[in-house]
Amino acid sequence: MPLLRCEIVHWLSTDPLPGWVEARLVDAHGRTWLFHDKPPIFSAELSASDALPVEGVIACEVIAADETTGATVTVDTSAPWGIEATDGTTTFTVSAEQLLADE
More confident residue, 57 or 101: 57
Per DSSP bridges, beta strands 32-37 and 20-26 are antiparallel
pTM for the full model? 0.92
More confident residue, 84 or 18: 84
Domain that holds residue 82: 2-101
Mind listing the pLDDT tens digit for each residue in 63-103? Answer: 999 878 879 999 999 999 999 999 999 999 999 999 997 65
Query: Based on the structure, what is the number of domains in the chain?
Result: 1
More confident residue, 58 or 50: 58
Contact call for residues 71 and 96 (beta carbons, < 8 A)? yes
